[in-house]
């Protein structure tokens, strides 16, 4: 099913990027800073008139960069990030080498995962082990649930609509729970060479089967050796166990409170099946194999003996547009802007199709509580109206894009008033190549997948490759969680 033959009832809309009101293309904060800088220039000119020859051009140049756009982001922010990354590179802050040092935290995972530690907990509800990632800096805890998503491309329209409504109800439940800070859904596709398919069929083959059936199966194994892939999906929920009337007094109580909150989220009817809560061994396997894809098929006993620090890379270099780690190199892309038109529910299908390289697709969510969501939408309506009025006063009429943006803001506010929830979300995709020589092909495969969606626009995670790489792992880091 392509994006052209999806019924309108199976399309999702209501996307809009936050935009504050400012002068021209400037944001509100940039406008205020620019006005303050010009006022300072005028004040300085009262005693040193010649300073205007320097201060005014500099101020206007900075404002011009703030108003311009580069890769879908303000040019000033882009170049500021570029300078910050170069300074960090010069200070060797973008390079990581795991060495033994006489320091209690010398062997912590690198980057955004440094404050985290892994806890092997016992879930009394199921009687199984559960892996809980504890962020020692914020106190948040993350529990991941392994999923088995079912295919919906050939499902009846009514069933798919029901799945979308059930997912909306799940997000609604998150918005009213103060302890749920955010969530993410990740699908990891690891291509196989076909040996797993052949071994599985060989083990289950019936010697007494008809010759025609055996011939068809043999042809399948022979003709599709590289069409197999290992698909692993999970949902990670970030919980603040202390955001309650009676905060737990110790770590064990915080873990129990976290499991209670996660168990209260009902995934039934969303089109996916729960396999189990991810154990500490599952988390070690996912994290370690992300940094070193060669150990993906290792036995569980090998991961059970790893410490949390050993799951990270032995060596890593956070480059401007790539992330080199151990014996692999990855490139990550993030959503550039929100879709401006309704998108089909199957829009991510090109990302989920197996390719030559391992791929990880992550949808991160932060559901705003009803009060915050209403306040955000009211500000967005006012900002959209002010932008249209300002343009109309200068040019005689507002631009059609401004009118359409105002209409989307009004529609979002009307939906929120009817009980819908406001959700901050983003999309992140990571592709991993085994060698630097394969990186151009991996990047081209990612670009082709983006173009095949026909609705989404992505850009490289400039200067944040390591952070976006980690955001796709079940370690509790999310760029949307404050």
What is the rounded CA–CA span in Å between residue 196 and residue 193? 8
Q: So what's the pLDDT on residue 4?
A: 45
Comparison of pLDDT for 365 and 9, the residue scoring more: 365
Report the candidate in 371, 183, 359 with the shortest Cα–Cα distance to residue 264.
183
Residue 238 pLDDT grade (very low, low, confident, very high; cuts 50, 70, 90)? very high
pLDDT digits (tens, 9 = 90+) for 90-148: 998 898 887 765 555 556 788 899 899 999 998 887 788 899 999 999 999 999 999 98
pLDDT digits (tens, 9 = 90+) for 322-358: 999 988 999 999 998 888 788 888 888 888 888 889 9
CB-CB neighbours of 241 under 10 Å: 23
Residue 447 to residues 209, 293, 440, 441, 459, Cα–Cα distance (Å): 45, 22, 10, 10, 9
Asked which of 233-247, 384-398, 444-458 is least confident by mean pLDDT, the reply is: 384-398
* Tokens, residue 360: 């990880």
Q: Which residues pair with 334 in a beta bridge?
A: 428, 459
Residue 42 to residues 36, 48, 171, 189, 467, Cα–Cα distance (Å): 10, 10, 51, 59, 42
Asked which of 147-161, 207-221, 350-364 is least confident by mean pLDDT, the reply is: 147-161
- pTM for this prediction: 0.84
Residue 127 to residues 52, 123, 273, 300, 348, Cα–Cα distance (Å): 73, 5, 19, 19, 36
pLDDT digits (tens, 9 = 90+) for 258-294: 999 998 888 877 778 888 999 999 999 999 999 998 8
Q: So what's the pLDDT on residue 133?
A: 95
pLDDT digits (tens, 9 = 90+) for 137-153: 999 999 999 998 766 66
Whether residue 328 contacts residue 293, with contact meaning beta carbons closer than 8 Å, is answered with yes
Is the pLDDT score of 47 beyond 60?
yes
Report the candidate in 271, 195, 185, 276 with the shortest Cα–Cα distance to residue 229.
195
Mean pLDDT of the chain: 84
Residue 205 pLDDT grade (very low, low, confident, very high; cuts 50, 70, 90)? confident
Is the pLDDT score of 378 beyond 90?
no
Give me the percent of the chain exceeding a pLDDT of 70: 90
Is the pLDDT score of 462 beyond 60?
yes
Report the candidate in 455, 468, 480 with the shortest Cα–Cα distance to residue 337.
455
pLDDT digits (tens, 9 = 90+) for 53-101: 888 888 888 777 777 778 877 787 888 889 999 999 999 889 888 776 5
Residue 204 to residues 137, 193, 226, 386, Cα–Cα distance (Å): 50, 19, 20, 67
Q: So what's the pLDDT on residue 1?
A: 41
* Tokens, residue 23: 């002068």
Q: So what's the pLDDT on residue 432?
A: 94
Report the candidate in 115, 113, 161 with the shortest Cα–Cα distance to residue 471.
113
């Amino acid at each position: 099913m392509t994006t052209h033959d999806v019924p309108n009832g199976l399309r999702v809309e209501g996307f809009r990027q936050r935009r504050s009101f400012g002068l021209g293309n400037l944001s509100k904060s940039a406008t205020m800073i620019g006005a303050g800088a010009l006022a300072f220039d005028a004040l300085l000119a009262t005693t040193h008139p010649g300073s205007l020859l320097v201060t005014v051009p500099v101020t206007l140049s900075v404002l011009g960069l703030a108003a311009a756009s580069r890769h879908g982001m303000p040019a000033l922010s882009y170049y500021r990030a570029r300078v910050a990354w170069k300074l960090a590179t010069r200070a060797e802050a973008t390079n990581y080498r795991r060495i033994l040092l006489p320091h209690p935290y010398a062997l912590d995972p690198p980057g955004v995962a440094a404050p985290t530690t892994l806890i092997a907990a016992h879930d009394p509800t199921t009687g199984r082990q559960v892996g809980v990632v504890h962020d020692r800096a914020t106190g948040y805890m993350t529990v991941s649930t392994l999923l088995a998503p079912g295919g919906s491309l050939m499902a009846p329209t009514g069933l798919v609509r029901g799945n979308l409504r059930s997912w909306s109800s799940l997000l609604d439940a998150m918005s009213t729970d103060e302890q749920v800070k955010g969530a993410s859904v990740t699908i990891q596709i690891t291509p196989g060479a076909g040996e797993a398919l052949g071994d599985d069929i060989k083990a289950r083959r019936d010697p007494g089967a008809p010759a025609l059936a055996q011939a068809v199966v043999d042809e399948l194994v022979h003709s599709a050796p590289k069409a197999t892939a290992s698909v692993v999906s999970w949902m990670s929920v970030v919980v603040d166990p202390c955001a309650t009337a009676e905060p737990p007094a110790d770590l064990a109580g915080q873990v129990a409170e976290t499991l209670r909150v996660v168990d209260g989220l009902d995934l039934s009817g969303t089109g996916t099946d729960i396999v189990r809560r991810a154990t500490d061994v599952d988390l070690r396997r996912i994290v370690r194999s992300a940094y070193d894809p060669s150990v993906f098929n290792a036995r569980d006993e090998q991961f059970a003996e790893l410490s949390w620090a050993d799951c990270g890379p032995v060596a890593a270099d956070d480059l401007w547009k790539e992330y080199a780690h151990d014996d692999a190199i990855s490139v990550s892309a993030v959503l550039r802007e929100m879709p401006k038109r309704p998108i089909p529910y199957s829009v991510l299908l090109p990302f989920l199709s197996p390719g030559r390289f391992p791929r990880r697709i992550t949808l991160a969510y932060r559901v705003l509580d009803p009060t915050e969501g209403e306040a955000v939408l009211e500000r967005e309506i006012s900002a959209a109206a002010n932008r249209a009025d300002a343009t109309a006063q200068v040019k005689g009429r507002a631009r059609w894009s401004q009118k359409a943006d105002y209409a989307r803001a009004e529609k979002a506010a009307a939906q929120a008033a009817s009980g819908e929830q406001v959700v901050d979300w983003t999309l992140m995709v990571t592709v991993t190549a085994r060698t630097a020589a394969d990186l151009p092909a991996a990047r081209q495969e990612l670009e082709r997948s983006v173009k095949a969606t026909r609705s989404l626009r992505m850009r490289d995670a400039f200067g944040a490759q390591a952070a976006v790489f980690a955001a796709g792992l079940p370690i509790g880091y999310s760029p949307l969680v404050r």
